[in-house]
Structure 1
């Protein structure tokens, strides 16, 4: 994985003269198309004052999980823990919300604005254990960059 290439491309997308929604969708599309084991890429954000996440822009198959309560599933756990969560094999997780039988692993990285966890990027893969430290570095960069436009 060429981190500098990906970081440069993400920076270009975020700095474009487009709406925030357009930029988030472009990031999802870019990551899904450029990294072969990123089979679903999406952003979830805190839903107003509710203790739940709401699906925003995404690339991949549609999901029924457009609202996720805090604490439920991997995304809901990240909303509470404020920590990255890498799941090499979703079958080994008790508190996992299945998005489809093809999903084998997941990585979720929180997005902070002024110290508050306001959302996250969620990546599903159809491969078991594909995520490395470079994926975490890249997705942390994405979240930090996105936080500047929210």
Structure 2
């Protein structure tokens, strides 16, 4: 199912040239709408020279986590580790920042531009342990395509 979304992602990027936030929001909307277990989809980006992430375009419940310090929560850990982070059960994570009591799992994939981790896509799911290797591969593809417009 996820592989079938690749052409739609490419079309969104092609059709929104020059408007980064609109492109990112359209990608969030596509993923949240088409993947039943993607309940919150958003982008975080390095906040200038600060060691923190700033929330970019997203779809889902509003969040208080507009700024996340490096190392804090799943997103903050990915900002430091530069590696994918799949959390099958958020309750089992010590360093988890709860956004909503309905969230059961989370996946965060970094975005690299010229070898530098400049941000990430963050997806919360209300379904326990929904993410597979296919999700990781697909979201790596999304991040690689997004990196080309950043």
Q: TM-score, normalised by structure 1?
A: 0.98
Match of 2:33 in 1: 33
Provide the residue aligned with 1:81 in structure 2. Answer: 81
Whether 1:102 aligns to 2:124 is: no
Unaligned runs of 5+ in 1: none
Structure 2: stretches of 5+ with no match in the other structure = none
Any conservation in 1 of the 2:2–2:135 contact (CA below 8 Å)?
Answer: no
Aligned equivalent of 1:8? 7
- How many pairs are equivalent? 149
- In 2, the alpha carbon distance for the partners of 1:116 and 1:17 equals 24
Query: Where does 1:1-150 land on structure 2 (aligned, <5 Å)?
Result: 1-3=1-3, 5-18=4-17, 19-150=19-150
Distance, in Å, in 2 between the alignment partners of 1:82 and 1:2 is 23
SS in structure 2 at match of 1:65: coil
Q: Which runs of 4+ in 1 moved over 6 A?
A: none
Query: SS at 1:91's partner residue?
Result: helix
Alignment partners' CA distance in 2, 1:59 and 1:147:
19
Task: Summarize deviations over 1:98-125 as a string: whole Å, max 9, x none.
Answer: 0010000000000000000000000000
Change (3 A) 1:94 1:17: closer
SS in 1 for 2:144: helix
